[in-house]
Amino acid sequence: MLQAVITDIDGTLTDAQRRLNTAAIETIRTLQDNGVEIVLASGNTSCILKGLSKLIGTGGTFIGENGGVYRIGFTGSLQVLPDRQIALDALDLLIRHYQKQGITLDMFSPRERFADVAFARTVPVQEVKDLLSGWNVTILDTNFAIHIQEAGFSKGKTFLKIAEELAIPTSAFLAIGDSENDIDMIQTAGVGCCVANSALDVKKSADFVAGMSYGDGFVEVMTRFFPHILAR
């Protein structure tokens, strides 16, 4: 029986403009209030996730920076996993390369990040991957930003740590997302789902694909798999 949900935020709980879907928030609150542990998993920073956990109404556990950081509950300490200096060194190479072309990378929350670096999708993702070929880094395209992080970390791998510390087996989790950084998380959970706006590779990795997009798709999935709670 499913006991918990681990969910992406941008593109999964939001609309295309990154505005939170209010029906998705109400759904999360109903599930959490009825004993279903809700875990947020995002490429966002820990400071954003701390606020969202409280304001949305989860139990406080989250994964941030695409698996680079996590916290258990509202009272747990923030855990940082990768060596960010590796990502910073890779970023320096990119900055110097694009400066020669008159391009300035638009950085996202550089002072609030502890595990990765992220910047706007104003340069080709494949070009970034080619420039950093041979580096010990992972480059992720979340559809909202390009992220660089020391290789070996992901939402799915940190999900394993979360499940162990919460004493909830991964088989009792439903995972849902929309982007490539959600794939291993979706594959690790007992039930893996995605919303209709997901990339093709994400859809192939899922057990169930919602007919609806964005936050409406999230509500659709939760209603399907938790009818004993959401049909009340």
Active site amino acids: 8
DSSP assignment of 28-39: HHHHHHTT-EEE
Provide the b/e sequence for 133-166 (b: ≥16 CB within 10 Å): eebebbbbbbbbbbbbbbeebbbbebbeebbeeb
Residues forming a β-bridge with 137: 150
Q: Which residues pair with 147 in a beta bridge?
A: 118, 140
User: What's the angle, vertex CA 28, arms to CA 230 and CA 40, rounded to 5?
Assistant: 145
Structure token pair of residue 97: 């390369």
Partners of 194 in the β-ladder: 177, 209
In angstroms, what CA-CA distances link 11 with 23, 61, 166, 194, 212? Answer: 14, 20, 26, 10, 12
Residue linked to tokens 């006991």: 3
* Contact indicator for 39, 76 with CB cutoff of 8 Å: no
